[in-house]
């Protein structure tokens, strides 16, 4: 069970080699054993998970099985799940039990997948190391002294350590791909609007996107088949024909034009990481792809633009946490305004406060045009760079992160150094493009991720390229020592 793909687990369930109850119990036992050292899960409810597994077995027995029926999936604690604690990694929502399901959770429940538990994350998805969580930092299974990346670090550690066959994550500026790179598995951020954001607690509404996190591209395609689709409850959900992403995985990539942005290989990229990425590109050439040099001239502006736009949206989205309707409320206060101040002061962590302050500042009178409006103009320039690039190439490749996993606490006192961890991922969120990270090698026994970026709605193209690479390499099959 431990290293089987989602497809093989599904086939085994269909052949009745084991039941969903047995499979779910197997992974729950692994969570009990390994989570104390990893801190990957915030909430585990064995009774709820086992009840779901029993219902899944009934569906399988009745011949109503789909590909992921009976499969345990770890859910990032940013997705509202009826009857489950949904904390978003914050003291502000420490005891919040959701009264409804997010669309992503509903879709998995509807096909009989099992909710294995809610995974740890940076508070309100704000962070690149999973060290800002109110519930403590997550540890990287490859080296417990290192961070797993963030904000989806709990899901990342769960997949890498085989605490779950797969997990959900969200990506606002790289929060699926960066931890996928640092923990050595496959993570995909879809085109903006392809997966509903309804019931997904908002950080930056024009950037947030949910996606799958699993061992392989094939597994991610199977999850994406479930997660996508128009949702009337989400005004940003795209009304377009639903695709079957797992149908195109084995298409040959002869003649595939791979664009390599020169800006991805300049200052800021670790030289050893660069060597791993270049070796991966040589592998693609052996498989028949063509390497084309391209330029994304405004890529260096992505981080400053992002850290104006995202905090601005966060300051608006987080204004609802005031202690009045739900969530944490300070115990002692003099009047309503004092309650607001103390609730937010006590309920939010330092990184969240930092971003709220930045966002409020750039939206204030006298600064809106100078910062927020200019950042939105830069966002358009970045998007235009990608449009021009795709006239020359089919997909774009480069590193997912500038380095391998760094030591816990190493960058906590330097927010700018932490923000630079997303230097290669943020631009795709600003442009709303699909992108994924796949394992491409190791440096000192720590994983390195290769990033694949597609044009809008071309998830099939990057999944196909990733799958063919993974059929000819075994980096994605490597697992950390001591997890057996």
pLDDT digits (tens, 9 = 90+) for 287-346: 999 999 999 999 999 999 999 999 999 999 999 999 998 999 999 999 999 999 999 999
- pLDDT for the residue numbered 369: 92
- pLDDT for the residue numbered 483: 83
373: DSSP letter = I
57, 70 contact by CB (below 8 A): yes
pLDDT band at 450 (very low <50, low <70, confident <90, very high): very high
191, 143 contact by CB (below 8 A): no
Q: For 434-442, what is the mean pLDDT?
A: 98
Q: Which of 219, 227, 226 is nearest to 187 (CA)?
A: 219
pLDDT band at 281 (very low <50, low <70, confident <90, very high): very high
- pLDDT for the residue numbered 482: 83
Q: Which of 254, 215, 279, 285 is nearest to 470 (CA)?
A: 215
- pLDDT for the residue numbered 133: 98
Helix (H, G, I), strand (E, B) or coil at 210: strand
Helix (H, G, I), strand (E, B) or coil at 63: coil
- pLDDT for the residue numbered 484: 75
478, 184 contact by CB (below 8 A): yes
Which distant-in-sequence residues (6+ apart) come within 8 Å of 341 by Cβ? none
pLDDT digits (tens, 9 = 90+) for 195-217: 999 999 999 999 999 999 999 99
142, 447 contact by CB (below 8 A): yes
Residue 85 has pLDDT above 90, yes or no: yes
Instruction: Transcribe 133-198 into DSSP letters.
Output: -TT-PPPBTTBTTB---SSSHHHHHHHHTTSSSEEEEE-SSSTTHHHHHHHTSEEEEPPTTSB--T
What is the β-pairing status of strands 290-294 and 257-261? parallel
pLDDT digits (tens, 9 = 90+) for 226-267: 999 999 999 999 999 999 999 999 999 999 999 999 999 988
Which distant-in-sequence residues (6+ apart) come within 8 Å of 326 by Cβ? 96
Question: Any idea which residues carry the catalytic annotation?
Answer: 76, 151, 175
Q: How far is it, in rounded angstroms, from Cα 303 to Cα 448?
A: 21
What's the chain's length in residues? 484
Residue 413 has pLDDT above 90, yes or no: no
pLDDT digits (tens, 9 = 90+) for 466-478: 999 999 999 999 9
CB atoms within 10 A of CB 81: 26
Q: How far is it, in rounded angstroms, from Cα 149 to Cα 154?
A: 9
Q: How far is it, in rounded angstroms, from Cα 461 to Cα 464?
A: 5
Q: For 361-389, what is the mean pLDDT?
A: 96
360, 315 contact by CB (below 8 A): yes
Residue 279 has pLDDT above 80, yes or no: yes
pLDDT digits (tens, 9 = 90+) for 29-67: 999 999 999 999 999 999 999 999 999 999 999 999 999
pLDDT digits (tens, 9 = 90+) for 158-181: 999 999 999 999 999 999 999 999
Q: How far is it, in rounded angstroms, from Cα 224 to Cα 81?
A: 19
- pLDDT for the residue numbered 165: 98
Q: Which residues of 235-266 are buried (b: 16+ CB within 10 A; e: fewer)?
A: eebbeeeebebbeebeeebeebebbbbebbee
pLDDT digits (tens, 9 = 90+) for 92-131: 999 999 999 999 999 999 999 999 999 999 999 999 999 9
Alpha helix ranges (H) inside 5-112: 6-14, 20-38, 46-61, 103-110
Which distant-in-sequence residues (6+ apart) come within 8 Å of 58 by Cβ? none
Which distant-in-sequence residues (6+ apart) come within 8 Å of 241 by Cβ? none
Q: Chain-wide mean pLDDT for the chain?
A: 97
Q: How far is it, in rounded angstroms, from Cα 475 to Cα 468?
A: 13
399, 424 contact by CB (below 8 A): yes
Q: How far is it, in rounded angstroms, from Cα 271 to Cα 285?
A: 21
Domains observed in the chain: 1-484 (3.90.1300.10)
Q: How far is it, in rounded angstroms, from Cα 275 to Cα 265?
A: 10
- CA dihedral sign of residues 389, 391, 393, 395: positive
């Amino acid at each position: 069970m431990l290293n089987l793909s989602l497809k093989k687990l599904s086939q085994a369930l269909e052949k009745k080699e084991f039941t969903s109850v047995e499979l779910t119990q197997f992974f729950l036992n692994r969570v009990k054993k390994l989570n104390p050292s990893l801190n990957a899960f915030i909430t585990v409810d064995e009774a709820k998970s086992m009840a779901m597994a029993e219902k899944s077995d009934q569906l399988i027995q009745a011949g109503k099985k789909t590909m992921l029926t009976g499969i345990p999936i770890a859910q990032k604690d940013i997705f509202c799940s009826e009857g489950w604690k949904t904390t978003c990694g914050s003291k502000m929502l420490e005891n919040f039990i959701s009264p409804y399901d997010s669309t992503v959770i509903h879709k998995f429940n509807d096909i009989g997948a099992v909710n294995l538990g809610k995974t740890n994350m940076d508070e309100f998805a704000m962070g690149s190391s999973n060290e800002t969580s109110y519930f403590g930092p997550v540890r990287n299974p490859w080296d417990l002294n290192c961070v797993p990346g963030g904000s989806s670090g709990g899901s990342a550690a769960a997949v890498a350590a085989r605490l779950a066959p797969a997990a959900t994550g969200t990506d606002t500026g790289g929060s699926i791909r960066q931890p996928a790179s640092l923990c050595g598995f496959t993570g995909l951020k879809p085109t903006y609007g392809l997966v509903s954001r309804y019931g997904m607690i908002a950080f930056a509404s024009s950037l947030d996107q949910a996606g799958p996190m699993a061992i392989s591209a094939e597994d991610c395609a199977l999850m994406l088949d479930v997660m996508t689709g128009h949702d009337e409850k989400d005004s940003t959900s795209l009304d377009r024909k639903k695709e079957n992403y797992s149908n195109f995985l084995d298409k040959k990539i002869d003649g595939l034009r791979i664009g390599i942005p020169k800006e991805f290989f300049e200052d800021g990229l670790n030289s050893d990481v660069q060597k791993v990425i270049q070796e991966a590109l040589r592998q693609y050439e052996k498989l028949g792809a063509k390497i084309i040099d391209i330029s994304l001239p405004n890529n260096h502006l992505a981080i400053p633009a992002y850290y104006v736009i995202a905090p601005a949206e966060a300051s608006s989205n987080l204004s609802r946490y005031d202690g009045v309707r739900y969530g944490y409320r300070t115990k002692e206060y003099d009047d309503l305004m004092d309650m607001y101040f103390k609730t937010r002061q006590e309920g939010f962590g330092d990184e969240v406060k930092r971003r709220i302050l930045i966002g409020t500042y750039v939206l204030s009178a006298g600064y809106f045009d100078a910062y927020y409006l200019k950042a939105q103009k830069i966002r358009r320039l970045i998007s235009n760079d990608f449009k021009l690039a795709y006239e020359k190439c089919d997909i774009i490749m480069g590193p997912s992160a500038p380095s391998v996993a760094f030591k816990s606490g190493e960058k906590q006192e330097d927010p700018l150094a932490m923000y630079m961890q997303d230097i290669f991922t943020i631009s795709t969120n600003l442009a709303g493009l699909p992108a994924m990270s796949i394992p491409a090698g190791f440096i000192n026994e720590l994983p390195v991720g290769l990033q694949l970026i597609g044009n809008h709605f071309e998830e099939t193209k990057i999944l196909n390229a990733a799958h063919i690479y993974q059929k000819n390499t075994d980096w994605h099959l490597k697992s950390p020592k001591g997890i057996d």
